[in-house]
Amino acid sequence: MATVTAAAGSGDGADGGPKLWGGRFKKPLDPEMEKFNASIGYDKVMWSADIDGSIAYAKALAKTTIISEAERDKLCEGLEMVRKEWSVGQFQIVPSDEDIHTANERRLTELVGDVGRKLHTGRSRNDQVATDTRLWLRDRISNISGLLKETISAFNEQAKSNQTVMLPGFTHLQRAQPIRWAQWLLCYASMLKRDFDRLQEVYNRTNVCPLGSGALAGHPFDIDRDFLAMELKFDGITLNSLDGTSDRDFVSEFLFWSSLTSTHLSRMAEDLIIYSTKEFSFVTLADEYSTGSSLMPQKKNADSCELIRGRAGRLTGHLTGWLCTLKGLPLTYNKDLQEDKEPLFDSVETITSLIKISCGVIKTLTVNPDKMKAALSSEMLATDIAYYLVRKGVPFRDAHHVSGECVQLAESKNTDLDKLTLEDFMVVSAKFESDILDIFDYEKSMEQYNAKGGTGSKSISWQIDVFEQWLKTN
């Protein structure tokens, strides 16, 4: 059978190279349109996923008898040759390569001849790119999950090493109640554990195979889609061909996940930026995660944390921009969907680096227990005065009011709350007895919060154990 090729100039690119879709066109693309349309500059990162999908598709085609087993083997061998070229940096992109799919198919056909033109039978770049993106992202999610576990472990190990260290807990950035440093660490470990759990859900919805959906209507040659899913280690197949080619929920979910996770890391970074200032001096960042000033030799800047905080905004921007692109698209595939790649690829790279840097910061962080303890002040135990009265049978709302009067009295005397005498307290309420003076003990104050989740030592030990067991089973 004679091979049909496009006539010169018919649907060629600006470079004269033939296009897969060029049969119905008489004129080539404008050079600016050629550049505007192409995605090979960034989607080439999916070269391995594209080859995996094509090998599975060649095997599935052979099951339909559209190609012979010999042709299947030739295609698979050729695709492995293309893979080797990519892996050793020898693959040459040419100007007519619009995207990674056309690049790989073009090179395959150069290597194995006309049988390479059969590979795309019944397949569209619409279901191909959806498959490649899922394969690519699936692998990255697995890598990120491992990094998250390492970071959660770093927080937990620091908590184990600092269970007796105390510091002010803050609300509204005002000193509120004394807490343990381990409680602060385990708070962020809890956030990241939720992020880990959410990421597994994103993985599950990503790990679904759209291949065999064709351009939109389905596959005309009774392709075995369950076989394709099995070959590519997907959990199952998409249920509807229209949805299979146009669905980018998994991209949206990952961009949201990245934005939320980076928000958690940004909050951690902000705390550490504050805590590492000379005014606080609660912690000292390692030199490996700090930079200096080009003018002021004394400066040690928490630039690792500032960049974590800054790049969180970038990830939120990717999410917002992508949702604005997606919101008005009619079914099914539209070229607008190509705009998912750059925010997705950058989000994967950015969140990966944020997690790595955050892990390094926590592992190498130096805690200054004396500075933390020195920042505690007796007015932080005003709530304990209310609790004291509650234990004496006073309703909490009344006890809260009385405690506030004690604070006001100390301020009027220009003294600290723990410097009030028993007589001062008894002026405010006859419920006070000599044991009121015993409440001004920070360690004792924290120990009353031993309900699970609190800052008491038993609760801290319980939280650490929970994380250790979770790390062993995930």
The CA distance from 192 to 186, in Å, is: 10
Please say which residue of 105, 121, 137 terminates a domain.
Answer: 121
Cα(330)–Cα(96) distance, integer angstroms: 29
pLDDT of residue 21: 54
In Å, what is the CA distance from 316 to each residue of 2, 137, 372? 54, 18, 33
How many domains would you assign to the chain? 3
Q: Looking at the structure, tell me whether residues 275 and 225 fall in a common domain.
A: yes
Is 39 labeled as catalytic in the residue annotation? no
Confidence (pLDDT) at 27: 79
CATH of the domain at 74: 1.10.275.10
CATH of the domain at 244: 1.20.200.10
Confirm whether 68 is a catalytic residue: no
Query: Is it true that the peptide bond before 291 is cis, omega within 30 degrees of 0?
Result: no
pLDDT of residue 6: 38
Among 64, 92, 121, where does a domain finish? Answer: 121
Contact 22, 10 (CB under 8 A): yes
Does some domain include residue 171?
yes
Q: How far is CA 249 from CA 20, 212, 241, 335, 369, in A?
A: 28, 19, 15, 16, 46
Give SS3 for 90: coil
> Which of the residues 68, 142, 161, 293 is marked catalytic?
293
Half-sphere exposure of 459 (CA within 13 A, CB side): 17
Q: What is the pLDDT of residue 4?
A: 36
Q: Does 3 reside within a domain?
A: no
Angle (CA) 261-137-141 rounded to 5° is: 45
Does residue 115 share a domain with residue 204? no
| pLDDT tens column, 261-281 | 999 999 999 999 999 999 999
My answer on whether 103 and 147 are in the same domain is no
**Is the same domain home to 90 and 191?**
no
Write out pLDDT tens, residues 297-345. 888 899 999 999 999 999 999 999 999 999 999 999 999 999 999 999 9
Residue of 172, 294, 412, 434 with catalytic role: 172
Do 164 and 223 share a domain, yes or no?
yes
DSSP label at 208? Answer: E
The Cα diameter of the chain in Å comes to: 109
Nearest to 97 by CA among 11, 17, 32, 31: 17
Based on the domain organization, do 208 and 144 belong to the same domain? yes
CB 261 within 8 A of CB 197: no
384 with 438, same domain: the answer is: yes
Rounded CA separation 135/149 (Å): 22
Rg (CA), the chain: 31
Domain encompassing residue 340:
126-374
Segments in the chain below pLDDT 50: 1-10, 14, 16
Residue type present at position 296: M
Q: What pLDDT, on a 0 to 100 scale, did the predictor assign at position 12?
A: 54
Q: Do 365 and 449 belong together in one domain?
A: no
351 lies in a domain?
yes
Q: What is the pTM assigned to this prediction?
A: 0.92
Q: What is the pLDDT of residue 43?
A: 96
142 & 290 share domain: yes
How many residues in total does the chain contain? Answer: 474
pLDDT of residue 37: 80
Residue-level pLDDT at 272 = 98
Contact call for residues 43 and 99 (beta carbons, < 8 A) = yes
Of 374, 403, 426, which residue sits at a domain end? 374
Q: What is the DSSP string of 242-279?
A: HHHHH--HHHHHHHHHHHHHHHHHHHHHHHHHHHTSTT
Instruction: Return the exposure string of 87-103: e unless at least 16 CB atoms fall within 10 Å of the residue's CB, then b.
Output: eeeebeeeebbbbbbbb
> Is the same domain home to 216 and 338?
yes
Please calculate the CA angle 248-200-359 and round it to the nearest 5 degrees.
Answer: 110
State the pLDDT at residue 125: 95
Looking at residue 272, its amino acid is L
Q: Do both 239 and 330 map to the same domain? A: yes
**Does residue 296 share a domain with residue 171?**
yes
